Structure 1
Amino acid sequence: MTYFLAAAMLGVLLRFFSLASFEFDYRYVVHAHSHIALLGWVYIALTTIIYKLFLEKGQITKKYRRLFGFTQVTIMGMLLTFPFQGYALFSILFSTLFLFASYRFLFLFEKYAKIDNEHGLSFKCLRWALWYMALSSLGPWALGGIMTNLGVQSIWYRLAIYFYLHFQYNGWMVLSLIGLFVYVLEQNKLIIPKRKIGFFFRGLNAGIVLTYFLSVLWIMPPTFFYILGGLGALLQIGGILVLVDINMSHFIQKFLSPFQWLLLRIVLLLFSIKMLLQLVTAFPYFANLAATYLDFTIGYLHWTFLGVITVAIFFLLDYFRLLKIDKSTFIAFFTGFFTMEVLIFYKGISGWLGLPGFDLHILFLAVASLVIALSIMIMLGNLEAQRSIRIHNVNY
């Protein structure tokens, strides 16, 4: 949660960049913001939950603690270098060391995670999610050679970055969240037919691979690429629909608190919109639109990371009692997030349709970012208070 706050504060700094006379390199802070959000907040949250559910009871406590400490050093290194130098010697060094740390976590999961009959599908999802995480790292590894031989203006530079981002959020992050949700279902004795599992798993994974072609449509490739990307989007939607049916909601409500049920419904709504946006970009007109007006891409990425993934993590943290999410604080967070999304997408729509902008757009964006940061700060304070209470109860 501390890294989430750091990423949010960097976001606030970026939003206030044009409103105040700050002296910093905007691009460097963008790099720091994205790295800490993805690798500090999301990665640490997901691997912590996976460790608690699948690894903690094994014989790897010391190994995991050493790895956890090493990972913190790499993330702190990125936080202290990216804002001041961008992609340079030390920031690249810490980023590279982080990749090795993530490979080590994959190795520990492969070697020590225990599978049983009750948690077969969730284990399978998480295993593939971690391998997608490793696959995504081919993007960063390729950047060095691309920058040296082709330069940052090469299309291969952006393609490598999009490869990394796609398999990070569509592969590693979203699939791991689905796996953890399936774990919740398995924990509550929901029996999923084997035939349904097969359709779900094959469709979802084929969709994850094929939707990468949606990330290359900005280069206006042959029509076949659009077909593959659209097919991938349909397969992902089909895989999810096979797993989640209408009758499941009655089952789920029985073991969730009203607030957890609210969080889950919000995640499903945000995720449905994300999938719809993904499918729409398979059509050439909308693919070109997203490439022309970058606010659509920025809005989509924030919708995915700050909306779908973060709210899903809030649900899991609350459900597994790792952090009790206060409802009023979450409402403040979601209000800031939704306001920011409306403003970002409106800017893209106004450019597309020639609608008028408004003078306070940047200010409202900055205030929305500040609301998000303040709500995270309150959550972090609540976490420390809950930790103190647990320590007090153990001592007494």
Structure 2
Amino acid sequence: MNLKKHIGIALAYFLAVALMGVLLRFYVVTSLPFNYKYLLHAHSHTALLGWIYLGITTLIYKIFLSSAEKPKLYKRIFLFTNVSIMGMLITFPIQGYALFSIIFSTLFLFASYWFTWFAMKYVPQHFKNRFSWKLIKTSLWYLVISSIGPWTIGGVMATLGPESIWYKTSIYFYLHFQYNGWFILALLGILFYIFEEKGIQFKPEKLKSFFLLLNFGVLFTLFLSVLWFGPPIVFYVLGLVGAVAQGLAFYEFYMLLKDHFPLMKKSFAPRAFFLLKIAGGLLVAKLLMQLFSAIPYVANLAFQLKDFVIGYLHLVFLGIVITTLLAFLKYFKLIKLPKSFIWTFIFAFTTTEFLIFYKAFALWLKLPFISNYYMLLAILSLSFPIAVSILFFKNIFLKYSKNM
């Protein structure tokens, strides 16, 4: 099975996401003939479910399931998944959350359940006792748990309406278990698989401690997602406990890896390793932001100034998840990473993140506002589709070169 074609489809979704992001930014500065919220739904769904989901599941299949010799079943799952993604990509910009977009969103949930069942049923026996598979299996359970959010949205809208706190809570529940659970644990599982294949062994008690702290952190940082409506103080305490646990987990992770950085540098292509270093640095920033968000004043500030939340989510998805995913796709020779893509993407990410966070800090601290801010942000955002276009066309139309 040519999995490069599957990644090519995922990259096409990535390009669509980047183009929609630019349209959303220009909507603020000029009149454009579309519904902003509708396109925003398409943008977010295609990013998470089209590009990132397909990238991670293709890696999981290549690493853990290709030897199960069930290519026809996997192809059917992949096809069904893409029908649901394309349906969302077409219907969300037209109607937002309505009949057909909800149908395709629901079909995607069933597709994710189907893949989860497939992975857990057909993973070869020799993987089942590996720590890497333990992380992957747990990440798939978080994928399933995250779907509780979308299932509740329909009932909440029908009974309490979109202005209810439960509507936003359902969305934040879904997002939390997507990125803190499914995405991050799956990527960690892939990384530990690479270590296992390199013959690196870790003390079982250290792995157990890391795993328990990691999952404790995932579960309890959920409380940080509901602080925006000012719940009882116990929610802040539980969120803080989760943030501390997650911080300790990644400290354990660092201690596990610190002696193996030279091997990592040798194993990964220079550009892929560079992306991993960026992801590692931004992971530290994410953990610190979570700690501060457990403070009632900061939690209320984030609710009042949405740019803090937008900047945080972009930092997680663009700066941590996507950079790590790209590095792994390169490691397993499913893509090439042109130098022009790397620097254009970094330019797009750093400049737009700076503007987003600066606006939030300017409103908070009464700093001078940047002249023509929204136009500048929109223009700089053009760098994203340029970067992704380079990545897409280099991988689709040019032959793989070993020196890339």
Flag whether TM exceeds 0.5 (same fold): yes
- Matches of residues 8-157 of structure 1 in structure 2 within 5 Å? 8-116=18-126, 120-157=130-167
TM-score (norm 1): 0.96
Q: Which of these residues, 238, 241, 247, is aligned with residue 248 of structure 2?
A: 238
2:208 pairs with 1:198: yes
- Counterpart residue number, 1:394: none
- For residues 212-257 of structure 1, what are the alpha-carbon distances to aligned partners after superposition, in whole Å with 9 as ceiling and x for unaligned? 0000111111221111111111111111221222323233223223
Letter paired with 2:296: P
- Matches of residues 168-317 of structure 1 in structure 2 within 5 Å? 168-245=178-255, 246-317=258-329
Instruction: Give the aligned CA root-mean-square deviation in angstroms.
Output: 1.4
Distance 1:315 1:232 in 2: 28
Deviation, structure 1 residue 60:
1.3
Q: Is the 8 Å Cα contact of residues 24 and 40 (structure 2) preserved in structure 1?
A: yes
Deviation, structure 1 residue 28:
0.4
Letter paired with 1:339: T
2:378 pairs with 1:366: yes
Q: Determine helix, strand or coil for the equivalent of 1:57.
A: helix
Letter paired with 2:240: G
- Counterpart residue number, 2:4: none
- Counterpart residue number, 2:16: 6
Letter paired with 1:156: W
- Counterpart residue number, 1:355: 367
Deviation, structure 1 residue 16:
0.7
Q: Residues 115 and 223 from structure 1, CA distance in 2 versus in 1: closer, same or farther, beyond 3 angstroms?
A: farther
Deviation, structure 1 residue 316:
0.4
TM-score (norm 2): 0.94
Distance 1:119 1:264 in 2: 27
- Counterpart residue number, 1:320: 332
Moved more, 255-264 or 308-317: 255-264
Distance 1:200 1:255 in 2: 23
Distance 1:258 1:268 in 2: 15
Deviation, structure 1 residue 389:
5.8
Letter paired with 2:136: L
- For residues 17-66 of structure 1, what are the alpha-carbon distances to aligned partners after superposition, in whole Å with 9 as ceiling and x for unaligned? 12222121110010000000000010000000000001111121000001
Distance 2:272 2:21 in 1: 27
Gaps of 5+ in 2: 1-10
Gaps of 5+ in 1: 391-396
Distance 1:317 1:126 in 2: 16
Distance 2:216 2:298 in 1: 23
User: Percent identity among equivalent residues?
Assistant: 46
Deviation, structure 1 residue 359:
2.4
- For residues 160-202 of structure 1, what are the alpha-carbon distances to aligned partners after superposition, in whole Å with 9 as ceiling and x for unaligned? 1100000011000111111111111111111011010110000
Moved more, 242-251 or 62-71: 242-251
